[in-house]
Amino acid sequence: KNEVEQSPQNLTAQEGEFITINCSYSVGISALHWLQQHPGGGIVSLFMLSSGKKKHGRLIATINIQEKHSSLHITASHPRDSAVYICAVPGRSGGGADGLTFGKGTHLIIQP
């Protein structure tokens, strides 16, 4: 079973700041997920990545397979980015159909 550690657990920043959220996992994987949970509770998928970097708007996700580490960056942060950001990896090394192992999430608050 893969273990997932996220840091920080909580992050409060001012609007406009550059945000970095980190995720480390213990077993080699084929893909890593970044998810966003809105204050209302809904969960949406932000990224799936297996190497390098992906960008969507102001969000950037990177992964270093050798170091078993991924980061999620938010540029020019805005109060609407306030949410819980969750990292997840396949439950078994090498992937598989038995769902994901989730980190506990990073609770991000962007103040105006």
- Could you list the residues that contact other proteins (CB under 8 A)? 4, 29-31, 33, 35, 41-45, 48-50, 86, 88, 90-92, 94-105
Minimal distance, residue 47 CB to other proteins, in Å: 8
Q: In terms of CB distance, is 9 or 14 closer to other proteins? A: 9
Q: Which amino acid is at 91?
A: G
Minimal distance, residue 26 CB to other proteins, in Å: 14
Q: What share of the chain is helix, strand, coil (3-state, %, to 5)?
A: 5, 55, 40
Q: In terms of CB distance, is 79 or 96 closer to other proteins? A: 96
C-alpha to C-alpha distances, 86 to 2, 22, 23, 34, 112, nearest whole angstrom: 15, 10, 9, 6, 23
Strand partners, 100: 90
Q: In terms of CB distance, is 16 or 52 closer to other proteins? A: 52
Q: In terms of CB distance, is 81 or 90 closer to other proteins? A: 90
In 3D space, the residue among 68, 60, 66 whose CA is nearest the CA of residue 19 turns out to be 60
Minimal distance, residue 51 CB to other proteins, in Å: 9
